[in-house]
Structure 1
């Protein structure tokens, strides 16, 4: 090896080795061994179907971790098709190779395994993992991931008496994931989902949660579904919002919360009502047909049962939800994952380097349904884009193949990649001209949701921005015929997926990759290819120098 590595590279390797040793010494490792299989599940209680299980569980195992932990997750794929897991909301610092989407990572072949090595660096909060290929998400394979604060970092509320996870989402009971994928491949739209699940159960009010009067409990709620906004409430009880996707929030009270696809919330609920059973209700919003399910909050000494109820939608769902979204703000007095206050980063005083206006659209291309951002409908390449970038393989993608603003020139198909400079400060405006609510996610980052409103965005809209305590999160909704604006500091080098969280739209092109690039190519900014990385496509036979934590 010394014959072809010069002294500078050797010094780099030795320095990296020392850094890795320090990381290993200071931050704990948590090991997981997961086997992904098909199995019979019966969420609806009446029609068994084939689901994706992890270690025989649906939903999959919950990951408990602490800020800066290293998670080593060995995934065995026992399905009959390739498989990938992605980590919704987890900011993989300098390590998009572990992102678990096809643009960055080769799928795990049937009968093979891959070990993810991710560090939950400088993060706290409530997140989830999910299968990212095809329509696997419609079959299960998802689970929750919580990151607790380190003991010496104060949390802005007393320790709750219990900590519960609610994975909620729409669900297809009458179609398996392969049938749904085939519908999309033939150019059709998906039908309305059949039901709503709570932790894999769609049979209303058959499950219960036991609590004690006078105590306060934490509920972590994630919308892991395919397309439907869901409203969550506990009848008779107020919910105090304390955290949104890794950000401590101003502790406002709500009787219900609209949770859009891909979003996660934490609330505190005090059991201050008469001792009886109360209904926990999850119902669709912004849908013509309302889907409803629920479970029961059981006071330990209660004898009176909860009565089944129907959901009560607000008279104007849009105004209700928009007002609620604007009320969610960052708690500037709380500590984050580090001792410094969350509000010490004055995003409102930073000069914007670039504005992206991202416009969604739907159209038929070659008589098949497609979706696009700025008139470009994404088509996957034969090689993961990050591998093509690493090995400098030409003709896999072209940086700049999606414009910063809509062109109105008609929809086209392309492997859309947008170049961006490392450390740029970017304004992104999501413009929604359609009559449906949408939800967008950016891997590898959290962004400040600085504004949202009805109508079309203009430069004058900036006068409405919250430049002091906007909430930071990784997934934001865009209301029908409305806009949402976010600020993002591009401090994480890599190839990162920006996508619609409506999974049919994502699958049919409403996504692209943001290539955050630094010409320095320093290990301080980005890790090199992991030593166990799977190679596929035109990268199958490539050789590599491996230095990774």
Structure 2
């Protein structure tokens, strides 16, 4: 072999190894989804819940920025099922978002594999079941995305890192709740859980054991169905360090309001006398007060709890909206800290970008055809017989109409439609969430992290922009809107796909308070959007686009040799046509 050919071969090998080593790591998960009986509230009261590999809540997902997650889900329930990933942006890949507008359900007895890359993300999030009010039965778990080793984090490594899933809870199963919602409003929940337990008796308490003088990270997500919750650590302060993927200015709080669908990371230092203290979670802004506790236990504790659960200095009155609003406005981005990349979070000057479009979204509640419904801009969403993403891909007529929800409140009476709003890739938009009702609401924008530039009471007008935070607004994916108030966000539409904008008040979402934003690029390029996955489930009117299996190849019979066995590739999985799950 000539020296030139040898050098070329060696160079090719080096390039190959460089390519292989440069690929982001893969993490593999196999989840078996089943029903099971547990005792979340009382040892005398078993409830049927959704388990993942026998666990409630489900297992945590631990990942590092840019990791590829391969999650094979086996549906052993008696109903179609999907997981969605609250806060995971699914860059270029709404195919994996796991809501009915993007995915066909996994049918009973079947499995399907999600392929998700946590591209350019860090932070604390959660996953949950997205169909058929399954979320009321559990099936949720935490997601933590760590920074890559060479990316600095703006605080020392904590002595421990804990997922804390809090949420309101019903003593009714999800099928009973669905039946109730067919005719009337959802009842008020019966309990609050911390990591799947009400945790009032000491013997049943979730316990976090800490060493005196050390700091611990708590990733707190409100995975409940409707209630804002307040969390506090008895006699301790919390230092907020991260909100839904953004490192924040490190402000100390004695208590935090966490609205449904939101995630916060706090540091708590064990700097008090060595004994056991309560972590307390209570409902906010409701006539009925629900409470759950866990233990924050010093390793050198004498075992005594620091007195009964009592009012803590700085904890607001139940209906003190002003306290909560002031706290929300105090949450700001740490401009000098690195995010998922080494450059500072403040290097993106969102406040200097020209707004291409303003969208005003107003919530409402009404009866339609004698049944309770909820809407955005008077349109109450009804699911189509085919996932919208598939209908868009295969250009199936009659599934949805672009522009079926207006950009601003229309003043019309509420009506039903499969509402889809059109938007252009790379536009920079302003969205105003308007809440004319007498309750706190919470909204999620899938596929994006947006900047919370303003919120206040009253009616929004263009003059309110004068008070926007255009310097260090926090970037997140779920935001609250206070009663008779508005919240303004800036969204860079840098992610092509079909994205769900929804109420996190789950009965409202289920009964129509959601729509889809179709972010479109005229250039069909994998740079902007990934191709449809080869294992994509095809259902409804998209079933006809499933490729037929390749024809069998006749075996070749060489002389004096036994016939060879032909190999036939499997076609993409096709789900039968079925009515869409609610």
TM-score strictly above 0.5: yes
Q: Which residue of 2 aligns with 1:192?
A: 188
1:536 is aligned, of 516, 539, 548, to 539
Contact preservation (8 Å) 1:122, 1:337: yes
CA distance in 1, matches of 2:493, 2:41: 43
CA distance in 2, matches of 1:141, 1:400: 34
2:466 is aligned, of 453, 463, 468, to 463
CA distance in 2, matches of 1:196, 1:362: 26
CA distance in 1, matches of 2:503, 2:71: 26
Is residue 177 of structure 2 the alignment partner of residue 180 of structure 1? yes
Deviations 1:411-443 (A, max 9, x none): 010000000000000000000000000000011
Q: How does 1:272-311 map to 2 (within 5 A)?
A: 272-303=271-302, 304-310=304-310
**Alignment CA distance shift 1:156-1:23 (3 Å):** farther
Deviations 1:495-537 (A, max 9, x none): 0000000000000000000000011111100011100010000
Deviations 1:177-228 (A, max 9, x none): 000011112x211111000000000132523211000001101000000000
- SS state at 2:464 partner: helix
Aligned residue pairs total: 527
CA distance in 1, matches of 2:245, 2:358: 25
Q: How does 1:453-532 map to 2 (within 5 A)?
A: 453-532=456-535
Contact preservation (8 Å) 1:281, 1:311: no
CA distance in 2, matches of 1:311, 1:78: 45
1:23 deviates by 8.0
Is residue 400 of structure 2 the alignment partner of residue 397 of structure 1? yes
1:160 deviates by 0.4
Q: Which residue of 2 aligns with 1:337?
A: 340
Q: Which residue of 2 aligns with 1:125?
A: 123
CA distance in 1, matches of 2:366, 2:353: 38
- SS state at 2:187 partner: coil
- SS state at 1:387 partner: helix
CA distance in 2, matches of 1:222, 1:24: 35
- SS state at 1:286 partner: coil
Q: Which residue of 2 aligns with 1:107?
A: 105
Is residue 446 of structure 2 the alignment partner of residue 438 of structure 1? no
Is residue 38 of structure 2 the alignment partner of residue 35 of structure 1? no
1:451 is aligned, of 454, 468, 476, to 454
CA distance in 2, matches of 1:430, 1:221: 24
Contact preservation (8 Å) 2:538, 2:546: no
CA distance in 2, matches of 1:22, 1:451: 45
Q: How does 1:156-235 map to 2 (within 5 A)?
A: 156-173=154-171, 175-185=172-182, 187-204=183-200, 205=202, 206-235=205-234
1:24 deviates by 7.9
CA distance in 2, matches of 1:495, 1:536: 17
Q: Which residue of 1 aligns with 2:8?
A: none
Q: Which residue of 2 aligns with 1:4?
A: none
CA distance in 2, matches of 1:136, 1:202: 20
Contact preservation (8 Å) 1:424, 1:489: yes
Contact preservation (8 Å) 2:444, 2:501: yes
Q: Which residue of 1 aligns with 2:52?
A: 54
Q: Which residue of 1 aligns with 2:262?
A: 263
CA distance in 2, matches of 1:508, 1:481: 21
- SS state at 1:320 partner: helix
1:311 deviates by 5.1
Q: How does 1:405-420 map to 2 (within 5 A)?
A: 405-420=408-423
Q: Which residue of 2 aligns with 1:250?
A: 249
Structure 1 gap segments, 5+ residues each: 1-17
Contact preservation (8 Å) 1:144, 1:165: yes
Structure 2 gap segments, 5+ residues each: 1-14, 549-570, 573-582
- SS state at 1:227 partner: coil
- SS state at 1:44 partner: strand
1:42 deviates by 1.0
- SS state at 1:42 partner: strand
- SS state at 1:541 partner: helix
1:308 deviates by 3.0
Q: Which residue of 1 aligns with 2:12?
A: none
CA distance in 2, matches of 1:310, 1:183: 36
**Alignment CA distance shift 1:35-1:390 (3 Å):** same
CA distance in 2, matches of 1:340, 1:224: 32
Contact preservation (8 Å) 1:279, 1:307: no
1:317 deviates by 1.6
Contact preservation (8 Å) 1:283, 1:311: no
Q: Which residue of 1 aligns with 2:359?
A: 356
Deviations 1:250-296 (A, max 9, x none): 00000000000000000011111111111100000011111001011
1:307 deviates by 2.8
CA distance in 1, matches of 2:206, 2:112: 35
Structure 1 stretches of 4+ with a deviation exceeding 3 A read: 21-25, 310-313, 543-547
